[in-house]
Amino acid sequence: MLSRIFPQIDALRAQLAGLGTDFSLLFLRLIMAYEFGMAGFNKLGGENWFTEIMHKLPFPLNYAPADISWVLASYTEVIAAGLLVVGLFTRAAAYGLVVVTAVAIVSVHWPESYGSLSELWQGYAIRNEGMGNFKMPLLFMLMLLPIVFQGPGRISLDRLLVTLTPLRARVTRGELGLADVGIALLALGLPLAQVMPLPGWLIFVAGAICAGLAWRQSRTESITRP
């Protein structure tokens, strides 16, 4: 009797876990699409205030004309929001918003100066009282990361495209390889470098090294394989 019940319970738990992941990713996509979509539409219908912060933008954006940066940021938010809603090219859309948010943090929400980590932490707030207000964009970045690394879930056009593709992509879960670690570090290091250059670029360089070693390892294996 018990031998029949436990497998059914395990199967039910697996189904619930899968549905929980899919719906969690869907809700994350929708709330992020709403927030960034509204921000993008407000920019398109409002006045360009980038002229006041161009000197704070990271390189090379600080050399671009303010009008181009304004249009680029606006359409990135609007288009990426639409892609998140339908779940199409979802990882690229979410990562684009991570980069946009990192630029917004360093140019708008980051404190002008701080002498210690405790002073920097005072900027983790919603209201700007002279110490920065990077709480909301930081939370948005953290909410986007599961979409970047895990994808949109099964309730998405990406999933439909994979299903309809003759050569279906089957991802086997196993131990992380150097290539996986390298890609993750590269993806995290680039936006972090806009906010905190030293640790961000160190992570980026570490990711590049891991990716290079993985490429070299794959080349060696392909040469030695009979």
Q: What is the DSSP string of 115-157?
A: SSHHHHHTT-SSS-SSS---HHHHHHHHHHHHHHHH-S-SSSH
Lowest mean pLDDT among 31-35, 56-60, 74-78: 56-60
Reported confidence tier of residue 95, pLDDT bands at 50, 70, 90 = very high
What average pLDDT score do residues 81-103 get? 92
pLDDT reported for residue 147: 92
Whether 123 contacts 133, CB under 8 Å = yes
Highest averaged pLDDT of the listed ranges 84-93, 134-143, 159-168: 84-93
**Mean pLDDT in residue range 126-148:** 82
Lowest-confidence region among 11-15, 49-53, 124-128: 11-15
Q: What CA–CA distances, in Å, run from 169 to 6, 89, 159, 172, 189? A: 31, 15, 10, 10, 27
pTM confidence score: 0.75
Instruction: Please report the pLDDT score of residue 88 as a whole number.
Output: 92
- Those residues whose C-beta lies under 8 Å from the C-beta of residue 128, and which sit 6 or more positions away, are 109
Question: How does DSSP classify residue 23?
Answer: H
pLDDT: which is higher, 226 or 136: 136
